[in-house]
Amino acid sequence: MVQAYETETGNGDPGDRFTQSRARRLLDGWRGDRDIWRRGIVIAASAVFIALLMIFHAQVPNRIGNLGSLNETFLPWLGVIFIPLLLIAAIWRRSATALIVLLLPIVVWFNLFGGLLTGKSTRGGDLTVATHNVNAENPDPSGTAKDVAASGADVLALQELPQGQVSTYREALADTYKYHVVQGTVGLWSKYPMTDNSPVEIRVGWTRALRSTVQTPKGEVAVYVAHMPSVRVKMHAGFTANQRDNSADALGEAIARERISKVVLLGDLNGTMNDRALNAVTSQMRSTQGAAGDGFGFSWPASFPLARIDQIMVKGVEPVSSWTLPRTDSDHLPIAASVNL
């Protein structure tokens, strides 16, 4: 009995003993290493550079290849990708300097994006809205429409509607939504009456935006649907976003002229809330994801979402919750939000 007791308490778990032994040897090795503060200067400098890119992202110029907007589109990933890589490199190089300096980009990242890691959504809401870029090459438009309608949205916006498939979407959504309007390649479906339906000029050459007044039980709401021009990253031209930027300016001007105080914007803006090129819109409206969402709410590409380029934004109403809907046959994820009027 005595022998069994000593074995149990004295020896402990073999895995724990092995881990403790390795950690002790590692610490002992670092204590006796005279170059621990000299190594890893390049790693430390890289950590400072990443931190500065996040802190001063608005100062990165757009004059050359729209680098500033490109950086802001994927800004959260600067920390997600590079901080772990630099941490591994600092440990491998046994650099105390690099490990300490790495605290700088970590603190900056959490200051910028830590708030998105906490759940802010609550129950309820007077109006539920959803938006989805259905993809012009969608192999199952009817199924996609029904999937998004199943979200329970009172108002649903669709973008990238091919001319030959508009009737398919109309038929698929007819049982859920009594009212609808299609202008060019964008459409709006509603359970409540819609008036003053009109296209919105966003300097593209054809209609990719519309406006409608939705008569909800809590009063009028001006609903905008927009699909900003696409952007590309090209070796010879950089981030080709100039046409999108001009469209964002035009959309911002239209929203600024809006006479109704309660405004909802639904659409594929081909840009994130961090992108300074969308300031004409983002400066006067709030993102439902930032105000009432859980997490980043990335919506594109659907197979492995990297950025939230689909947006639900509001002015004069209070976001209650915001979420991403299940994947459809589109290359975008649909998103939804509830708001109080």
Mean pLDDT of the 57-77 span: 90
CB-based contact 320:121 (threshold 8 Å): yes
Task: Check residue 119 and give its pLDDT.
Answer: 82
pLDDT at 129: 98
- Its pTM stands at 0.86
Can you give the pLDDT at residue 28? Answer: 59
Average pLDDT over residues 262-283: 96
Q: What is the average pLDDT across 64-70?
A: 86
Give the tokens for residue 308. 């939230």
Q: What is the mean pLDDT of residues 315-335?
A: 97
**Which two three-digit tokens encode residue 338?**
């509830």
Domain boundary among 117, 150, 172: 117
* Continuous H helices in the chain: 2-6, 14-31, 41-55, 67-73, 75-93, 96-101, 103-113, 141-149, 166-173, 242-256, 279-282, 288-292
DSSP-H helix ranges across 257-322: 279-282, 288-292
39, 139: one domain: no
pLDDT for the residue 173:
98
Report pLDDT digits (tens) over 166-202.
999 999 999 999 999 999 999 999 999 999 999 999 9
**Which residues, 6 or more positions from 17, have their beta carbon under 8 angstroms from its beta carbon?**
11
- Summarised one tens digit per residue, pLDDT across range 84-143 is 999 999 999 999 999 999 999 999 999 999 988 888 888 889 999 999 999 999 999 999
Residues 238 and 332 in one domain: yes
* 26-36 residue pLDDT tens: 565 566 677 78
Kindly report the CATH number assigned to the domain that includes residue 181.
3.60.10.10
Residue ending a domain, among 89, 117, 145, is 117
Question: Is pLDDT at 235 greater than 80 in this prediction?
Answer: no
Of 74, 99, 117, which residue is a domain's last?
A: 117
Q: Specify the number of domains making up the chain.
A: 2
* Residue 292 belongs to domain spanning: 127-340
